[in-house]
Amino acid sequence: MENIEFQFLSRATVYWKLIRDGAAMFSKTVFYKYCRLMGYHKRPVIKKTKQNANGIKASAVAEILHTDITYVTTADDKTSYLSFVEDNFSKFILSGEASTTPTAKFIKNNIESVAKQYILNKPAKLITDNGRENKGELDTYLQTEAPIITKVIARVDIPQANNVVEALHKKFKNEFLQGKKIASHQALVTALPRLIEAYNNQYHDSLYGYSPLEVWNGAIPNKTKYKPLLASATEKRKHASNRFNCCTNIRTF
């Protein structure tokens, strides 16, 4: 918890790194308990009101994609806009771009790069909000060159908000940009591929310890995968505790 590399990671992410690295074997509840006892509190985050607690969920990769724009202020006090395309099932970032202006062409180019890089062999839904940057050139491109992708507007075509990509924005700012003021727009453009790679290889609590890249490549999140190992570790600790007796002269009331 004191490792400077992990200072902006959530406790859940640190927990899954412990488990995946084989450094320890205990439940997340136990990990949180000892974090509290040792004075390691929840990481500070940028709070944002939840618009909808029940988000839309895919049953496989490349079934539902999300895109939205967020912005960051660089050290030279200028605004850069970020556009991500994220897979719903795996949380994998398929594409991420930075621009100085949030235009429809910017969003269209990002979606086009996804369509070219990843072969989508079945119909997919693209969840967006109703902003003007998600219309115009994007609509024309989807209708004429990528009809396999159907645009769905959050809070209009469906009742849910675009929570998946909004959660990505929050995680990206809290864990990757907080405390690391990017010098300029060009510096952000240069750093973005490395930051996306780090995100895609990070162990996610919502994926039960898998990384987005692993799930995108075929791994299936399994809530019970570590259950036998955790149960075995619990029994070993109980057995060790029963054998340990350093206070034989203290009367038990």
Q: Which domains does the chain have, with CATH numbers?
A: 4-44+226-243 (no CATH), 64-200 (3.30.420.10)
Query: In sequence order, what are the residues at sequence separation of 6 or more whose Cβ sits closer than 8 angstroms to the Cβ of residue 205?
Result: 10, 12, 13, 15, 16, 28
pLDDT digits (tens, 9 = 90+) for 56-82: 899 999 999 999 999 999 999 999 999
pLDDT digits (tens, 9 = 90+) for 197-239: 999 999 999 999 999 999 999 999 998 888 888 888 888 888 8
Give the C-alpha separation, 177 to 61, whole Å. 27
Give the C-alpha separation, 182 to 77, whole Å. 10
Q: What is the pTM of this model?
A: 0.77
Return phi, psi of residue 84, to 5°.
Answer: -115, 150
Give the C-alpha separation, 60 to 180, whole Å. 34
CB 124 within 8 A of CB 149: yes
Q: Provide the terminal-to-terminal Cα distance of the chain, rounded to the nearest Å.
A: 38
Residue 246 has pLDDT above 70, yes or no: no
The whole-number pLDDT of residue 53 equals 47
Give the C-alpha separation, 180 to 173, whole Å. 10
